[in-house]
Amino acid sequence: MWNAGPVPDAQSDEDNLQRITFATDWKAQAEHGGFYQALAKGYYAKRGLEVQILPGGPGVNVPQLIAGGAVDFGMGSNSFIPLRIVEAELPVKAVMAVFQKDPQVLITHPRDDVTSLEDLKGKPIMISDATISAFWPWLRAKYGYTDDQIRKYTYNLAPFLVDETAVQQGYVTSEPYAIAKQLGTEPQVFLLADNGYPGYATMVLAPNSWIEESPDIVQAFVDGTIEGWYDYLHGDPAPADALILQDNPEISQDVLTQARDKMIAFGLATSGDARRLGIGAMTEQRWGMFYDTMAEAGVYTDDLDWRAAFTTDFVNHGPVVPEGAGLKPR
């Protein structure tokens, strides 16, 4: 069992800002845009925080970094992460969910015999090892997929590009654009969230010690992040994009632009409960739905304390930007 250390003593520079390290789940990308916008536009600084964003990558275990005290806060990619934290008895939980919709998709070439997720039953599908214990059980339970359909996905698009019958997983903001650029035609994209998949994504994780002993700092980080995301999606994304390109020279501006457009078009951050409760919203009902769905699919035991995976104390304060209005930070 992990035991996170106590909240560090206030670390301040000459401007008396509390220093915070925040670990992301992957290399800098548009899907992290709101965090970078909050940094670039001073939304953290005006709340007394000096935030350093530490990009992740393959093999980075964000919950263990937080629990071990290597970073202060971190990103949880999907709803499985906080529940696995409970299983591992790590003293960490989710304090906000940026995306109401998990961006996971299944992708096919244009084809007449597939017009829905249901049509993919029985067809080979390339998925990653991690997916086998993530959203694959939901696909099995809802659509009758079977494990003999599984083909290994190694995050290389080449097998998909050369096989017109291929099906693979991806992020709605990423792989479809890369595939379209190489094929010269748009692939078919099926967003799991628009077909009932109940998971959140891009969550902020915080150690229990910070939540209990320094909730004002957690609230400041959450509020700065919320303002950053509203600004990134509704305002000029250029400040965040500049920092993202600096942190990840391998990415290009066209990739950032299309990803932001997809986030807006699919309502990843602003749909569902966020319409009423604001970006970052989480509800016990939605978490319970996710847990029940996955427990029924055999992913979790019936006695898991799923409520220990999150707290809604720092979110659900209402939208910062009312529909049709200009940017009005809270």
* Cα–Cα distance measured from residue 176 to residue 15, given in angstroms and rounded to the nearest whole number: 44
Q: C-alpha angle with apex 146: 301 to 99, nearest 5 degrees?
A: 60
Kindly report, as residue ranges, where domains of CATH 3.40.190.10 are found in the chain. 18-101+199-309
Kindly report, as residue ranges, where domains of CATH 3.40.190.120 are found in the chain. 104-195
pTM recorded for the entire structure: 0.92
Structure tokens at 266: 């699919």
Level-2 CATH architecture, domain 18-101+199-309 = 3-Layer(aba) Sandwich (3.40)
* Cα–Cα distance measured from residue 99 to residue 268, given in angstroms and rounded to the nearest whole number: 5
* Cα–Cα distance measured from residue 24 to residue 28, given in angstroms and rounded to the nearest whole number: 8
CATH of 104-195, one of 3.30.70.1880, 1.10.10.10, 3.90.850.10, 3.40.190.120: 3.40.190.120
Contact indicator for 125, 106 with CB cutoff of 8 Å: yes
* Cα–Cα distance measured from residue 169 to residue 140, given in angstroms and rounded to the nearest whole number: 15
How confident is the prediction along the chain (330 residues), in pLDDT tens digits per residue?
334 444 544 455 557 899 999 999 999 999 999 999 999 999 999 999 999 999 998 888 999 999 999 999 999 999 999 999 999 999 999 999 999 999 999 999 999 999 999 999 999 999 999 899 889 999 999 999 999 999 999 889 999 999 999 999 999 999 999 999 999 999 999 999 999 999 999 999 999 999 999 999 999 999 999 999 999 999 999 999 999 999 999 999 999 999 999 999 999 999 999 999 999 999 999 999 999 999 998 899 999 999 999 999 999 998 865 444 344 333
